[in-house]
Amino acid sequence: MSPSSVSSGDVQGISDVNEEITEHHPLVLVVDDEQRIIRFVQINLEMEGFRVIKAHDGLEAVGQVREHLPDIVLLDVQMPEMDGFETLRKIREITNVPVIMLTVRSSEEDKVRGLDLGADDYVTKPFSPRELVSRVRAVLRRVQTPKPADSSILEIDDYLSVDFNTAEVIVEEERIKLRPTEFRLLHHLIENAGWTVPHSTLLTKVWGYEYRDEISYLRLYINYLRKKIEPDLSEPRYIITERGMGYRFIDFQHQPEEREEQEEA
């Protein structure tokens, strides 16, 4: 087709298609002070259909987040002036955009620090393109997973209830917001109340198959949940640890019957 044969309607149609393609390709903000790392990540993400914007330091990253509202941020930890942890803290002041930390450190302390500040995942350098893309997709799947269809507040007992519509727990009539990952984890535990759910099953259901061996993630988020719902952390009432196996949420639906039988005895 020659340029002269392209009608205004054709041009509009092409424009609409391009806009649709753009809308369905996640926008990734890559933040690193090393240009070669940014270029490496950009090439591999764009090959997989992602759109990429860049920032070379923390201040620029915060500005890019405000201006472009990316779908996910890949954030280097070790940057001059404002490191990744401080940058993450400032990002969390304005948005809950998913953040994957990129780091040469592999210690659990650094992972816990980042996750405590609101990071969604960690990728340790050097990483393969396949691993990076897999982690990005897994995090995006988690945040895009629709909420369960439950339309009512589930009352566990007089102390604890769960609002599935707002992703909140109600503890002694006080509403406490859950992070998306905390909410998914609690939902899967409650779905299997009374049954021990293996570590690998919870990791696969909540984080994705790529995370089935990341038990430290699971322990950390179980601890987050317990801090929000348990009256006594030293003796958990709701989320029970089955050592070497997994975790079990109390069988709250049959507890009243059990208590009546004990009283009659």
CATH of domain 8-144: 3.40.50.2300
Distance between start and end Cα atoms, the chain: 88
Q: What's the predicted TM-score (pTM) here? A: 0.66
Topology agreement, domain 8-144 and domain 153-264: no
Mode of pairing for the β-strands spanning 160-163 and 51-55: unpaired
Q: State the sign of the Cα–Cα–Cα–Cα dihedral 39, 44, 46, 52.
A: negative
> How far is CA 44 from its chain centroid?
22
Quickly state the pLDDT bin for 5 (edges 50, 70, 90). very low
Domain 153-264 fold is Arc Repressor Mutant, subunit A (1.10.10)
Does the structure show a pLDDT above 90 at 60? yes
pLDDT in the model for residue 145: 55
Backbone angles phi, psi at 113, to 5 degrees: -60, -45
Does the structure show a pLDDT above 90 at 81? no
Q: From 27, 189, 221, 52, select the one nearest 121 (Cα to Cα).
A: 221
| Segment 32-36 mean pLDDT | 94
Task: Please give the structure tokens belonging to residue 9.
Answer: 């309607």
Per domain, the residue ranges of the chain are 8-144, 153-264
Does the structure show a pLDDT above 90 at 71? yes
Token pair 């809308």 is at which residue?
A: 23
